[in-house]
Amino acid sequence: MDIKKILENDRVKPYVLKARYGLEKEGQRVDLTGQLVNTDHPENISKSDDHPYIKRDFAETQMELVTPVTETLKELFDYLESIHEVAYRSLDKNEMIWPLSMPPELPEKEEDIIIAKLADAESVRYRHSLAESYGRRKQMISGIHYNFEFSEELLQALFEAQSEVTEFHQFKTEIYMKLTRNYLHYRWFITYLYGASPSSEKNFFNDNSLVEPVRSIRSSKYGYVNSENVQVSYSSLKKYISDISALVEKDVLVEEKEFYSAVRLRGGSQVADLEKRGIGYIELRNIDINPFDKNGISYEQAEFLNLFLVYLLWKDESVHHDEWVKEGELNNEKVALEHPLKPTQFKDEAETILEEMEQLVKTLELSVSDKLFVNERDMLNDPSKTIAGRLYKESQQVSQSQLAVKIAKEYHEKAWDMPYQLTAFTDMELSTQLLMFDAIQLGIQVEIIDRQDQFLKLKLNDHVEYVKNGNMTSKDSYIATLIMENKTVTKKILQKQGFRVPLGEEFNNIDEALRSYALFAKKAFVVKPKSTNYGLGISIFKDGAAYEDYEQALKIAFKEDSSVLLEEFLSGTEYRFFVINDRVEAVMARIPANVTGDGEKTVEELVAEKNKDPLRGKDHRTPLEKIQLGELEILMLKGQGMQINSIPKKGEVLYLRENSNVSTGGDSIDVTDQIREDYKKIAVDSVAALGAKISGLDLIIEDIEVPASNNKAYGIIEANFNPSMYMHVFPYKGKSRRLTMNLLYYLFPELGKMK
């Protein structure tokens, strides 16, 4: 079949770069000096052997980060970065991840390398047999496995554009077999560009037979390879399967997975499954860890690999399959052992490949990053720009080990910089980012089904839960959230059940409201739109209102909503009670934006100082918002006889807003442990009365020392069906309450039993 022609088919071309990806990346845990640690895998990461994202590889210190399968490279890297952040922030603060494929200095005694303390006895036995066959040291090399699958659309389009192969599974197998042979033939090119293990550290080698530096110890025979007698043919899938089976049968390999080829054919749990189902995807195992990217591999590398695979599919191969592969092995060995700063002996061939790849991009109208070929061409022209070259060169100033420590520290610090976010997902809500963080840590699979809409699918074993906006879940009924959404309905239900709510009336037109002036004229009351938030359109009259002011307030409120509530005004502090499944998990005092004078600084300076808090930012990207000095704040100052350049007295607290929302610069202060139990009971009971399971209940309490049963001790203002969680996790003051974790334990009660 003429694959080149088929690829150029108009029905095929649009799908050429569509693929599915998955990445595994290993790394050793070290202390801040770069020494391998003696500690166990972190406590807070679920230790389940089948944690989907953070596993242990051969050794207890060897973390393996695993992404889910993704449909785009962007998603792949979003996950990879996030899993890194979870791993980093789950480590003891004195630990970090070694950024090189070659392990740090190893213990003198090989037995001091601790094999991963897995629960599954079979897995532990397997590691012991590996230790026996290859030695524990060799198993400490880390790397990246890049799983690649052509999209179903592409394969279908290719299949339909030819007629030689009539069975789709067989067709797929032929595609992947060719790709694999070509990859094995040309993989020296990847070793040249991305090889990144030039030198070993102390106690890795027993002898000095390898002359360092090289391009990639790991990809050479000094790396992680099977013994000479493991020979497997790629001439056909059948041969591949029977060769591996024979090796296992003859006990040359303990298990099928002990076959360490640069490419593993995947699909099904056993090699034999491949025959039935065809090859599902391939796993490239020859990628060294790139220390110059915090993820161990850059987006550009992955994109180049993708294109390289398409190129290899397109590129003719020799009909002498075994020789073709063998030749590739030999060439790779040569390149792997070249000096990293010297040009490769295959420079001409490499140039041809790059040219042909560029040409292919044009012919197939593929859309790739602008700089893609620029960088790779630079690497080809200047070996010191290859990863191995750069690593070796920079190591010369200090030592490879010191450089690695420096780099590791940088990533370590970066991961802790903004502990409330997942850097790859800052377009999503903070609470959702925190929930994803916790889910990853707990070993719950996270799939983003609609990123813009904050829609997650969470999966733990066979248990699936969907979550939107952090805490919209299956636990609440639809009607309960609709009840909470409607302030009038909420109040009616709570009042009927005997809870204290501000009394008042709803009006659907201004005339009706005006006619009721007499009912409110002499009272403390609030005018507010029925369903808007953030304090918009609200007027407060603490001591009655003149008719003109009453009318004005109604006009303002009716601008925001077609229904307006007139309610009794309750004085006191606003508290947010966060109830999950009939328990108050957090209580937060919400204080309007304010500064405290020191007798020296102006209001403006005090605000600037308070805004320095790294938790304060803009547009809800941080747990707190910077205090503004806009119209409303200046008006509020004026009401207190102040201006922005006034100097408040020492200890004087100056409020800059009437409303207490965190979103307008307010302070969030955790008071969970300070609040009387009777108020918590009221919160739990009233949320239950609304039929809700997850709710943020806002209470006004005049004096939290006074029993709730006292006359007018409290009033329930509203119940929020999607209360933000992040402000409790990162409060301005007081204890952090990790509500996202509470929520996950509520959604997945089996987590409690797994602990």
Q: Round to whole Å and give the CA distance between 113 and 138.
A: 11
Q: Output 159 or 176, the one with its CB closest to a second copy.
A: 159
Strand duo 19-31 + 62-66: pairing: antiparallel
The number of CA neighbours under 13 Å toward the Cβ of 34 is 20
Least Å from the CB of residue 468 to a second copy = 5
Least Å from the CB of residue 457 to a second copy = 8
Least Å from the CB of residue 205 to a second copy = 49
Q: Output 271 or 360, the one with its CB closest to a second copy.
A: 360
Q: Name the maximum alpha-carbon separation found in the chain.
A: 99
Q: Output 562 or 736, the one with its CB closest to a second copy.
A: 562
Least Å from the CB of residue 518 to a second copy = 4
Q: Output 512 or 703, the one with its CB closest to a second copy.
A: 512
> Computed over its alpha carbons, how large is the radius of gyration of the chain?
32
Least Å from the CB of residue 506 to a second copy = 8
Q: Which residues bind a second copy (CB under 8 A)?
A: 10-11, 13-15, 365, 367, 449-450, 452-453, 455, 465-468, 472-483, 486, 488-489, 492-493, 508, 515-516, 518-519, 522, 562-563, 691, 721
Q: Output 211 or 518, the one with its CB closest to a second copy.
A: 518
One-letter amino acid of 657 = R
Q: Answer for the pair 27, 99: CB distance below 8 angstroms, yes or no.
A: yes
Taking residue 727's Cβ as centre, other Cβ atoms within 10 Å add up to: 28
User: Under DSSP, is residue 241 helix (H, G, I), strand (E, B) or coil?
Assistant: helix
Least Å from the CB of residue 682 to a second copy = 20
Q: Output 489 or 632, the one with its CB closest to a second copy.
A: 489
DSSP state at residue 35: P
Q: Answer for the pair 313, 175: CB distance below 8 angstroms, yes or no.
A: yes
Residues near 523 by beta carbon (within 8 Å), at least 6 away in sequence = 541, 544, 568, 569
Q: Output 333 or 505, the one with its CB closest to a second copy.
A: 505
One-letter amino acid of 258 = E
Residues near 221 by beta carbon (within 8 Å), at least 6 away in sequence = 333
Strand duo 624-625 + 616-617: pairing: parallel
576 phi/psi in degrees, rounded to 5: -100, 115
**Ordered DSSP codes for 579-631:** EETTEEEEEEEEE-SEEE--SSS-HHHHHHHHTTSTTEESTTSSSEEPPP-SH
Q: Output 113 or 493, the one with its CB closest to a second copy.
A: 493
Q: Which two tokens stand for residue 243?
A: 């060769």
Q: Which two tokens stand for residue 645?
A: 């350049």
Least Å from the CB of residue 568 to a second copy = 12
Q: Output 71 or 112, the one with its CB closest to a second copy.
A: 71
Q: Output 361 or 587, the one with its CB closest to a second copy.
A: 361
Least Å from the CB of residue 194 to a second copy = 29
Least Å from the CB of residue 542 to a second copy = 18
Q: Round to whole Å and give the CA distance between 9 and 13.
A: 6
Q: Answer for the pair 732, 667: CB distance below 8 angstroms, yes or no.
A: yes
Q: Output 365 or 378, the one with its CB closest to a second copy.
A: 365
Angle formed at CA 302 by CA 300 and CA 304, multiple of 5 degrees: 70
Least Å from the CB of residue 326 to a second copy = 40
Q: Round to whole Å and give the CA distance between 666 and 678.
A: 26
Residues near 630 by beta carbon (within 8 Å), at least 6 away in sequence = none
Of 45, 46, 44, give the one whose Cα is nearest residue 754. 46
Burial class (CB in 10 A: 0-12, 13-18, 19+), 717: buried
Least Å from the CB of residue 461 to a second copy = 17
Least Å from the CB of residue 693 to a second copy = 9
Of 112, 710, 42, 53, give the one whose Cα is nearest residue 440. 53
Q: Answer for the pair 671, 586: CB distance below 8 angstroms, yes or no.
A: no
Q: Output 173 or 724, the one with its CB closest to a second copy.
A: 724
Q: Answer for the pair 621, 610: CB distance below 8 angstroms, yes or no.
A: no
Residue written as tokens 């020979």? 231
Positive or negative, the Cα torsion across 482, 483, 484, 486? Answer: positive
Q: Output 617 or 691, the one with its CB closest to a second copy.
A: 691
Least Å from the CB of residue 661 to a second copy = 24
Least Å from the CB of residue 551 to a second copy = 17
Q: Output 533 or 736, the one with its CB closest to a second copy.
A: 533
Q: Answer for the pair 345, 312: CB distance below 8 angstroms, yes or no.
A: no
Least Å from the CB of residue 498 to a second copy = 15
Q: Round to whole Å and give the CA distance between 385 and 375.
A: 9
Residue written as tokens 């392990």? 103
Q: Output 130 or 154, the one with its CB closest to a second copy.
A: 154
Least Å from the CB of residue 2 to a second copy = 21
Q: Round to whole Å and give the CA distance between 421 and 416.
A: 10
Q: Output 129 or 562, the one with its CB closest to a second copy.
A: 562
